[in-house]
Amino acid sequence: MHATDPSPPPLPSHRPLLDPAAEYGRWITERPLARISLWGDTHPWLVTRHADARTVLSDPRFSSENVRPGFPGLQPTPPPRTPGQLFAMDPPDHTRLRRMLIPEFTFRRIEQLRPAIRNITGDLLDGLVKQQQPADLVEHFTLPLPLLVICELLGVPYADRDFIHRQAAAFATVSAGPEAMRAGWAALFGYLQELLSAKSREPGDDLMSKLATERVATGEATPAEAAGLLVQLLIAGHETTASMLSLGVVALLRHPGQLAALRADEDLVPGAVEELLRYLSVVHIGLRRIATEDVEVGGVTIRAGEGVVVALQAANRDPAVFADPDTLDLTRDAGQHLAFGHGLHHCLGQSLARAELQIALPMLVNRLPGLRLTGAAAEGYAFEGRAIHGVRELPVAW
């Protein structure tokens, strides 16, 4: 019924700091499955309801291959096919490559990393309290923490952190244009190819060494595929968690009752992290798919070759699933949230992200009971044109 909308509205690229764009609150009831405008005459379907999002993300008739004609990509120009980009692959290649990484991201493996994450968090807090106030929480805590963890896990030198973050940020900045995004990916790809080659000669006890000696050396993966996997892990392994940590701090400080409850009851922490993931939904450009055959979703037929954008931030505020969804409630059961996606492309590193958030947020707010935002409103520091919502800096005092 919406397929013939004469002027589909644009996909919102703006948003307040802690909430989705206001349009989503209306669309989830008024036009939950309808056309939007991306660029040129591209008008994919926008999915906002939780149930419809789960359907699209779990149905194999929706492809993730972003080189297919009509795919609703981030840019008008289709990207070159790059080895190892799991987010842009379908089975069987997706299955083959993802299976290589699963042993390193099991719940048991991540639980073994918790002491190391606590040590890293404690060291960063020791450094933070030595800074002159106000200090930038992003620079001294929320960015280096996940970057240190993922570098240690992968076997990437943390000394190269400035280069790594600069290139990762370039790839994630949609507004910079396709060439800048590709250049960021290409720079990290070349860097990790060299590291992978070195690890094949002198392996260590890290994921990159295992890929080099157990997968590439045996012919299960090409060096390019392995490097592509590592680029994705390196970017996703710190960008999203850094944003969640920063925005999680802002959300807690703006809800002092919730913060007090978190400080008073450590048993609240796991559920509180799930609620923050639901409430903030930092991936705000939507998960993109294209139908490979006609599929009915929510009473609407999506034709083969038509694109779909799944708005996670809308699905995570669906009142049919979450009562009073615009309220931050750390005691609610938010276990059905889709912040990590759903289906075969659900986030491989979600256990790692949960562990970092469950450890870092309580340690921060308990170590610094007087923690507060300073200076200009935090909105002034929000990223513009980024695929991952967050802040560039976050001045705080304590």
Q: How confident is the model at residue 1 (pLDDT cuts 50, 70, 90)?
A: very low
User: Could you tell me if residue 13 is inside a domain?
Assistant: no
Output the six-digit token pair for 334. 């938010």
In this structure, the strands spanning 307-310 and 45-47 are: parallel
Q: Is residue 74 pLDDT above 90, yes or no?
A: no
- Does some domain include residue 271? yes
Residue 211 tokens read as: 């890929």
Mean of the pLDDT values across residues 286-302? 97
Q: Are 262 and 328 in contact (CB under 8 A)?
A: no
In the structure, what pLDDT confidence band is assigned to residue 6 with cuts at 50, 70 and 90?
A: low
Q: How far is residue 293's CA from residue 208's CA, in Å, rounded to a whole number?
A: 38
Q: Is the residue at 244 inside a domain?
A: yes
Report if residue 7 sits inside a domain.
no
The region, left, alpha or beta by phi > 0 then psi within -120 to 50, assigned to residue 289 is: beta
Work out the mean pLDDT of the chain and round it to a whole number.
92
Task: With respect to residue 382, please indicate whether it lies within any of the assigned structural domains.
Answer: yes
Which pLDDT band holds residue 377 (cuts at 50, 70, 90)? low
Write the secondary structure of the chain as one string of H (helix), E (strand) and C (coil): CCCCCCCCCECCCCCCCCCCCHHHHHHHHHCCEEECECCCCCCCEEECCHHHHHHHHHCCCEECCCCCCCCCCCCCCCCCCCCCCHHHCCCCHHHHHHHHHHHHHCHHHHHHHHHHHHHHHHHHHHHHCCCCCCEEHHHHHHCHHHHHHHHHHHCCCHHHHHHHHHHHHHHHEHHHCHHHHHHHHHHHHHHHHHHHHHHHHCCCCCHHHHHHHHHHCCCCCCHHHHHHHHHHHHHHHHHHHHHHHHHHHHHHHCCHHHHHHHHHCHHHHHHHHHHHHHHHCCECCCEEEEECCCEEECCEEECCCCEEEECHHHHCCCCCCCCCCCCCCCCCCCCCCCCCCCHHHCCCCHHHHHHHHHHHHHHHHHHCCCCEECCCCHHHHECCCECECCECCCEEEC
> Does the reported pTM lie above 0.85?
yes
Q: Residue 347 and residue 363: Cα distance in Å, rounded? A: 25
Rounded Cα distance, 340 and 236, in Å: 11
Determine the structural domain holding residue 207 and report its residue range: 22-397
CATH number at residue 96: 1.10.630.10
Tally of structural domains, the chain: 1
pLDDT digits (tens, 9 = 90+) for 167-189: 888 887 777 777 888 888 889 99
Cβ atoms of 156 and 195 closer than 8 Å: yes
Q: Is 3 within the bounds of a domain?
A: no
Is 181 part of any domain?
Answer: yes
- Asked if pLDDT for residue 381 goes beyond 60, the answer is yes
pLDDT tens digits for range 311-354: 999 999 999 999 999 999 999 999 999 999 999 999 999 999 99
Please state, in angstroms and as integers, the Cα–Cα distance from residue 60 to each residue in 57, 98, 289, following that order: 8, 16, 10
* Domain assignment of residue 351, yes or no: yes
Asked which of 29-38, 60-69, 368-377 is least confident by mean pLDDT, the reply is 368-377
